[in-house]
Amino acid sequence: MAVLFALISSLSWGTADFLGGLASRRVGSLRVLSVSYPAGGILITILALLVVPGVLSSESVWVGVTSGAVGALGMGLLYAALAQGQMGIVSPITAVLSGAVPVLVGVIRGESLSPIAIAGILAAGLAVILVSRETGPHKKTPPRAIAIALASGLAIGAYLSVLGSAPDDSGIWVATIGRWFSSILVLIALIIWLVRTGAGWAVAGSFPWGLAVAAGGLDALANAVFQLAAQRGLLAIVAVIGSLYPAATLLLARFLLHERISRVQL
């Protein structure tokens, strides 16, 4: 079940990243997150109350608050990178690091890795170099976007590591608390940004409500399912499986946005 849950979270994350990145290109990442995070919070709270039983302990609350702070940073950076660069470049870079960090944390905790797993980690490092190389007239991703993607990967990897430390009897309460704490931080960041820049909430054209809400719901669902996966399997394994999410992002970007995908990236 752990592998199945990790695969489901991967698919949900990949689709959420595509929708969130698309919306961020229109109105900016902070505006999108200020809608998507509370929307996801509502969904995951319903699941925590009615579908997935769990114990809401003080430990779960503190782990949730910590994960929410790191997760908000990671997603903010990811949406910013997706808004600036090609999704087929940004998403894999982020995913490699977001999968590598929990693997290292798992090893530190005493989890053992097979030779195949170690080879996979080394291959993932090479993938970062290859997938970030764009050549020819279609080069669209600036170095700044790649740097933001790298930072996002580290933050999301830290988030998954914290989520993986949730008490086994907590159900999905850690992910739920984390989502609402992230929502508060995002709203505070948005208010500060609006005040400092003098920008208004209103943007030219219509706000992509559907994209933002769908992205938030899918991202929250992925977080909840990943917590269940981490409770049932080794963090080092489920994190690597969960980090396959760029496949969905890349394919959606290829067929819906017609972004070029090189043979090396495939």
Q: Tell me the pLDDT tens digit for each residue of 47-96.
A: 999 999 899 999 999 999 999 999 999 988 988 888 888 877 787 788 88
Domain containing residue 158: 2-256
- Asked whether residue 177 is domain-assigned, the answer is yes
Per-residue confidence (pLDDT) for residue 228, from 0 to 100: 94
Q: Tell me the pLDDT tens digit for each residue of 32-45.
A: 999 999 999 999 99
Mean pLDDT calculated for residue range 211-225? 95
Gap between the terminal Cα atoms of the chain: 28
Residue 134 has pLDDT above 70, yes or no: no
What is the number of structural domains in the chain?
Answer: 1
- Asked whether residue 80 is domain-assigned, the answer is yes
- When computed from its CA atoms, the radius of gyration of the chain, rounded to whole angstroms, is 18
Greatest alpha-carbon pair distance for the chain in Å reads 55
- Asked whether residue 15 is domain-assigned, the answer is yes
- Asked whether residue 212 is domain-assigned, the answer is yes
Helix intervals (H) in the chain = 2-27, 29-50, 58-84, 87-108, 115-131, 143-163, 173-197, 209-232, 235-242, 246-256
- Asked whether residue 264 is domain-assigned, the answer is no
- Asked whether residue 174 is domain-assigned, the answer is yes
Retrieve residue 21's tokens: 């990145």
CA angle 84, 89, 94 (to 5 degrees): 90
Q: Tell me the pLDDT tens digit for each residue of 140-174.
A: 678 888 899 999 999 999 998 998 888 889 999 99
Q: Output the DSSP codes for 69-105.
A: HHHHHHHHHHHHHHHHS-HHHHHHHHHHHHHHHHHHH
- Asked whether residue 261 is domain-assigned, the answer is no
Per-residue confidence (pLDDT) for residue 135, from 0 to 100: 47
- Asked whether residue 165 is domain-assigned, the answer is yes
